[in-house]
Structure 1
Amino acid sequence: MSDHYYSRRPSVASDRNSIEAELRGFRLKLTTDAGVFSRDSVDYGSRALIAHMDIPAGAKVLDVGCGYGPIGLTAAKLAPSGHVTMVDINERAVELAESNARANGIGNAAFFQSDKLEAVEGRTFDVILTNPPIRAGKAVVHSIFEESFKHLNSGGALWIVIQNKQGAPSARTKLEELFGEDRVEEVGKDKGFRIYRAIKV
């Protein structure tokens, strides 16, 4: 099947769903749809990343592969004087994330359809967050890490969540190649998920 949540335009018929999630003390009402990642509930990996991520109040944040928005919208709530840019290759996901921001009164976020980080070329960020699209393959995931490194400010942090059985060891190795071994830390683990923070010198 060629239609995945990382397709540009999902061909599966729209079948919208409304969910509620409490994330970092914020109750968000979220509209999801067929053809986007984790339609029926906020997935466990995203919840684990959200629980651990450190977002300074004034940070410039990028959420790569934002889906319908749980990670980036929570970051926007945590950074009331900052700004969050949310990107996803999936057109339907980006539209949902933007409408979910409006529905939850979140005004400090912007949304772009983007193959990896192409839509933010020339921009840099204090924090980059990603629950990477594992099913797109290791090459795609590792290229997200490479592009994220280029788009981080000095002292900025890349936060990722990845399952141990779906490539966490190789992801950590790749991050250490990019950032340096002493700049990559496992900051949490939860039910087979690993949360890594990599800080750019």
Structure 2
Amino acid sequence: MAGHYFDESPERKSEQRVVTAQLRGKRMSFYSDHGVFSKSGVDYGTRMLLDVYQFPETEGDILDIGCGYGPIGLTLAAETTRIVWMTDVNERALNLAGLNTEKAGLFNTRIMKSNLFEALGEEKFASVIANPPVRAGKETVHALFEGAYDHLLSKGTFWTVLQKKQGAPSAKEKLETLFDSVDIEARKKGYYIFCAKKN
């Protein structure tokens, strides 16, 4: 069995490569590898999510949960003096995120291993952003939504992307049971970008 990008230790032999992408108007490059999400390049959903993301008005750190090799967290860290936390359960992805942080010369990131929010304790964030691991199943995605709400500061925002065929409408319904407001910030090619706000 080849394994999944949400496994702790990918079985596939490592074979690093460099991928480049234009993200939020800036050319970014990242080390990628087998056994991580979107290894061949930054996927459309992530690009779209980054394009429309807005930093929160409230002060506080940012959390990129399920960071993979780091395209979301590092792109945002390059734009802000806030601390950007980057977590993943996949050890290879975390190693790559560390390499990519060094490559980008960034010093405002915290990279740590965590299965969803397990290792984050009582930490609270001004914003949580995620391209969720839909292949891990609806239960995992909904647990991510619940954890995001619990780990947001008052007035905090949760940003996420889902395809219609991956259950975007039912995801919106779930978000509406948790958050005080849920907006569709963009919709294109079957992808939905949601911003959920906590009062």
Normalised to the residue count of structure 1, the TM-score between the two structures is 0.95
Listed as ranges, the matches of 1:34-183 within 5 Å are 34-56=34-56, 59-79=60-80, 81-180=81-180, 183=181
Residue in structure 2 matched with residue 198 of structure 1 by the alignment: 196
Instruction: Report Cα offsets for 1:80-119 as digits up to 9, x if no partner.
Output: x211000011000011011101101111001011100112
Give the superposition deviation at 1:24: 0.8
Q: Secondary structure at the match of 2:192?
A: strand
Instruction: Report Cα offsets for 1:52-85 as digits up to 9, x if no partner.
Output: 1112596410001100000111111221x21100
Using the alignment, how far apart are the partners of 2:75 and 2:188 within structure 1?
Answer: 19
Using the alignment, how far apart are the partners of 2:75 and 2:187 within structure 1?
Answer: 20
Q: Secondary structure at the match of 2:67?
A: coil
Using the alignment, how far apart are the partners of 1:74 and 1:55 within structure 2?
Answer: 12
Q: Secondary structure at the match of 2:94?
A: helix
Deviating beyond 6 angstroms after TM superposition, the runs of 4 or more aligned structure 1 residues are none
The answer (yes or no) to whether the contact 2:2–2:11 under 8 Å persists in 1 is no
Gaps of 5+ in 1: none
Letter in 2 for 1:174: K
Quick one: percent identity of the two aligned structures?
44
Letter in 2 for 1:70: P
Using the alignment, how far apart are the partners of 1:69 and 1:31 within structure 2?
Answer: 9
Letter in 2 for 1:62: L
CA RMSD of aligned residues (A): 1.3
Using the alignment, how far apart are the partners of 1:135 and 1:45 within structure 2?
Answer: 15
Gaps of 5+ in 2: none
Residue in structure 2 matched with residue 10 of structure 1 by the alignment: 10
Using the alignment, how far apart are the partners of 1:169 and 1:197 within structure 2?
Answer: 14
The answer (yes or no) to whether the contact 2:182–2:195 under 8 Å persists in 1 is yes
Using the alignment, how far apart are the partners of 1:184 and 1:31 within structure 2?
Answer: 34
Letter in 1 for 2:160: I
Q: How many residues align?
A: 198
The answer (yes or no) to whether the contact 2:17–2:33 under 8 Å persists in 1 is yes
Using the alignment, how far apart are the partners of 2:76 and 2:153 within structure 1?
Answer: 18
Using the alignment, how far apart are the partners of 1:40 and 1:174 within structure 2?
Answer: 31
Using the alignment, how far apart are the partners of 2:17 and 2:50 within structure 1?
Answer: 22
Normalised to the residue count of structure 2, the TM-score between the two structures is 0.96
Using the alignment, how far apart are the partners of 2:79 and 2:40 within structure 1?
Answer: 24
Letter in 1 for 2:71: P
The answer (yes or no) to whether the contact 1:64–1:129 under 8 Å persists in 2 is yes
